[in-house]
Amino acid sequence: MKDLTFGTLIAVFEEIFGRGLFWVMVGAAVIITLAYLYVLIRDRSVSWHKFLWAQLSMPFGAIAAVLFVQAMTHSSFADIGGPVDVIVLLGVAVAGAVGAAILVYTVESLLWPKKATDA
């Protein structure tokens, strides 16, 4: 693997997660992102109460993402071999944390829309 291209990354992710699960995850990420953008445009401001709950969900999202990736790759923490493995694991945790925050904020905003009196 000489060159790291977008096609190479897709092939690696399809190999890790399976073609079906990978594309379902991509589709879910697109749908959640569009819903998040809709909520931000609709409300025209951030609800700090919902934002707090979204932030509190971040550690759970980070842990869930790391455990999910390790389960899909049939790995354990004992298999971490060097700095690159740690960096990748931290990247997965950050992505899971941010994803959980966006998901929680979006779901809260869709289930309990902002009232005219909310700030």
Q: Which residues neighbour 106 within 8 Å (Cβ) at sequence distance 6 or greater?
A: 32, 35, 36, 39
Residue 45 placed within a domain: yes
Residue 91 placed within a domain: yes
Of residues 21, 15, 16, 11, the one with CA closest to residue 75: 16
- Mean pLDDT within 76-93: 87
State whether the Cα torsion 91-99-64-57 is positive or negative.
positive
Residue 5 has pLDDT above 60, yes or no: yes
Domain that holds residue 71: 6-111
- Mean pLDDT within 65-84: 86
At 66, list the tokens: 């790391």
Residue 76 placed within a domain: yes
Residue 18 placed within a domain: yes
Residue 115 has pLDDT above 80, yes or no: no
Total structural domains within the chain = 1
Residue 102 placed within a domain: yes
Residue 106 placed within a domain: yes
pLDDT band at 2 (very low <50, low <70, confident <90, very high): confident
Residue 1 placed within a domain: no
Residue 116 placed within a domain: no
**What pLDDT score does 55 carry?**
95
Residue 114 has pLDDT above 90, yes or no: no
